[in-house]
Amino acid sequence: MNKLTKLVKDWVPTLLIAIVLSLLVRSYVAEAMRVPTESMDPTIQVGDRVIVEKMLWATSLKHGDIVVFHPPIAGETKLFVKRLIGLPGDIVQIKDGALYRNGAKVDETYLAVKMDYSFGPVTVPKDHYFFLGDNRNISYDAHLWDTPFVAKDKLIGKVVLEIPLHKLRD
């Protein structure tokens, strides 16, 4: 057996296993994604990267989580990245520049600018969620969609790590 044949025989199975494992991890466990818009500014800025954990069956979502999902917008193919504001059964309202959940004002320290619109109140249906961007006044999010709720089966994963590449550019 010549050297090339031995090299191929030794390395091809290892490379194939590595490729298959990589595809499985990216499809079902975690994936790096780039944020293309200002809707999550100042938390996540344009061009920053996030690591999205896709094993939602193994974790529970909570208010304030940042989630990647398919929006309830006909014909939209891009994924959205927004903050989870309402869980199933929550009553969500925006009034006087503030968010209210189940009648209580929510302290949103991550917002840079007060909201300049009103919305709701709406009740989040079973197996659905309500999302808003952190840059509320320019974010194309639930307060502007015809259907403001995202079905559970449209969720991709939860952001577990933010990589602020904008700081490298500054």
What is the total residue count of the chain? 170
Catalytic, out of 39, 54, 139, 158: 39
Catalytic, out of 6, 22, 78, 82: 82
Distance CA 113, CA 156 (A): 28
To the query of whether residue 139 is one of the catalytic residues in this protein, the response is no
To the query of whether residue 60 is one of the catalytic residues in this protein, the response is no
- The catalytic site residues sit at 39, 82
